[in-house]
Amino acid sequence: MKSFTGEVFISFTLCFTVAAIFMVFFRYGRSIQQKYFLVSGIYFLMATAVTGILYILMKHFMYDEFYGKLVLRMHAFYSLYGWNLTGMMVITRWEDFPIALNTRKAIYFHWGVILVLAPLAKFYPVLTVPAIISYIAFLAVFFFSGNRAKMG
């Protein structure tokens, strides 16, 4: 309906709802490998919320075409390749956990590719191939890592 007040209200409501769910999950969820990936996914969801709010505010107060497109691109990457894919990865491999990989390194690598490399590749084409290769490498490591229980 093109209501700035409505957009801001809905965006902040969603952001605070996600934050509340995150706090409950973080506090009461069992400390298992899946939880770390899901926590990472919720962080991506929070980044999606922040970039969504930022875009709405930028659009209303001080829209700059380059930065507006950059924030919108970041928002899309965080949503599609961050929290959505993280959830799907965990669901797909749920029965395979614990997976034989360094969880922390895998999550940090995923964040580096999605937070920095992929959005910048949209504007700096020289980064496109490294972004694609990095993301394929991340997916390959995640999906083709063995199960620790079956390996040991």
Per-domain residue ranges for the chain? 4-151
Backbone angles phi, psi at 30, to 5 degrees: -65, 145
> Residue with structure tokens 């949503």?
79
Q: pLDDT tens digit string along 63-77? A: 888 888 888 988 998
Q: What pLDDT, on the 0 to 100 scale, is given for residue 135?
A: 92
Does the pLDDT at position 152 exceed 60?
no
Question: Averaged over 126-130, what is the pLDDT?
Answer: 96
Number of neighbours of residue 12 by Cβ within 10 angstroms: 13
Question: In 10 A of CB 88, how many CB atoms?
Answer: 11
Rounded to whole angstroms, how far apart are CA atoms 145 and 100? 6
In DSSP notation, 38-103 reads HHHHHHHHHHHHHHHHHHHHHHHH---HHHHHHHHHHHHHIIIIIIIHHHHHHHHTGGGPSBSS-H
What type of residue sits at position 146?
G
The per-residue pLDDT for range 82-122, each reduced to its tens digit, is 888 898 899 988 888 888 888 899 999 999 999 889 888 98
pTM (two decimals): 0.81
